A = this chain, B = another copy of it.
């Protein structure tokens, strides 16, 4: 490349990086050589020299969970705007792989990591190497010094539950909920649900909180079937994500229950499919574009101005309850 243009490698580098003291003539010559050869900077070389690659990693539990693939799309668009490339990574929600992402093991040539954790523990964050910029999405295993972007899960669940209560529902089940245990998304949303009940002076029935294995269709379907077998079945299902809600709709259909005739169903995430299900699904919609924007902004800020001692920032983005047919919309 350099010899083709008849200049030193460093000059090529200078042109590429828009160094100001390059004569107009050389600049042109080098640019033409670049075009002629289809030359591209070797990222490995740059990475070795500068420790930077211009790439960031997005690590999510599962790509075939629509919420994450939709989010990934937004993050990629946002990164694109900032001239960065995104490496997509899947953790399966396993702590080991989340830790690996947190330390940049599998993805060492990325400048930072946006991680959506499921099983990470507070101590994992405490002991992490703070030289690798990290932004957490959704769950936040610990308060404190790691950047985080998410919705107010407690308020979101409270709003969704209040919506059901306002429609006269009184026996509202929570699919995927958790009454005790660490402050994961499930626990926070269940707390919000209980707050709404309390506000409306509706008694809390622990049998209506159904934990699940994973947040998948089948888990939602299974939980819904089981709930309908109760002596006094629920009159509404608050499902902690849309996939489970859609699975529940299917199970209710099989059980001969009408939605929203016999009972209401509400989901979380506002994935594309909720607009097309029968009935269409009421859901809590987080502001995904904004989550992506904030996450990328926070990450790039740390990438561009490394400061391991800077305190963690917490961005809470908005959410809204999108009412559709499954709860009377």
Residues of A within 8 A of B (CB): 40, 42-45, 47-48, 53, 62-64, 66, 69-70, 72-73, 76, 85, 87-90, 105-109, 217, 221, 246-247, 249-250, 253, 272-273, 275-278, 280
**A47 contact set on B, CB distance < 8 A:** 44
Q: Determine whether the beta carbon of A217 is less than 8 Å from that of B250.
A: no
Least CB separation from A246: chain B residue: B276
Chain B's nearest CB lies how many Å from the CB of A305? 23
User: Given known contacts A87-B88, A250-B280, what 10 new A-B pairs fall within 8 Å (CB)?
Assistant: A43-B108, A44-B44, A44-B108, A64-B73, A69-B69, A109-B109, A217-B272, A217-B276, A277-B277, A277-B278
Query: Which of B73, B85, B90 is A106 in contact with, Cβ under 8 Å?
Result: B85
A249 and B246 alpha carbons, distance in the complex (Å): 15
A190 and B247 alpha carbons, distance in the complex (Å): 32
Q: Determine whether the beta carbon of B276 is less than 8 Å from that of A40.
A: no
A277 and B246 alpha carbons, distance in the complex (Å): 8
Query: Which of B66, B253, B277 is A64 in contact with, Cβ under 8 Å?
Result: B66
Least CB separation from A273: chain B residue: B273
A250 and B325 alpha carbons, distance in the complex (Å): 12
Query: Which of B44, B72, B85, B275 is A48 in contact with, Cβ under 8 Å?
Result: B44
Q: Determine whether the beta carbon of B109 is less than 8 Å from that of A43.
A: yes
**A90 contact set on B, CB distance < 8 A:** 73, 76
A107 and B53 alpha carbons, distance in the complex (Å): 11
Query: Which of B40, B217, B273, B277 is A108 in contact with, Cβ under 8 Å?
Result: B40
**A272 contact set on B, CB distance < 8 A:** 64, 217
A201 and B319 alpha carbons, distance in the complex (Å): 55
Q: Determine whether the beta carbon of B73 is less than 8 Å from that of A69.
A: no
Chain B's nearest CB lies how many Å from the CB of A278? 5
Q: Could you list some 30 contacts between A and B, CB below 8 A? A: A40-B105, A40-B108, A42-B48, A42-B108, A43-B109, A44-B44, A44-B108, A44-B109, A63-B69, A63-B72, A63-B73, A64-B73, A64-B272, A69-B69, A73-B90, A85-B107, A87-B88, A88-B88, A109-B109, A217-B276, A221-B276, A246-B273, A247-B276, A249-B276, A250-B276, A250-B278, A250-B280, A253-B278, A277-B277, A277-B278
A250 and B246 alpha carbons, distance in the complex (Å): 14
A3 and B64 alpha carbons, distance in the complex (Å): 45
A205 and B276 alpha carbons, distance in the complex (Å): 29
Please name the 8 residue pairs, one residue from A and one from B, whose CB atoms are nearest each other, closest first: A88-B88, A44-B47, A64-B69, A250-B276, A63-B69, A44-B44, A44-B48, A253-B278
Least CB separation from A62: chain B residue: B73
**A73 contact set on B, CB distance < 8 A:** 62-64, 90
Q: Determine whether the beta carbon of B278 is less than 8 Å from that of A278.
A: yes
**A76 contact set on B, CB distance < 8 A:** 90
**A247 contact set on B, CB distance < 8 A:** 276
**A63 contact set on B, CB distance < 8 A:** 63, 69, 72-73, 88
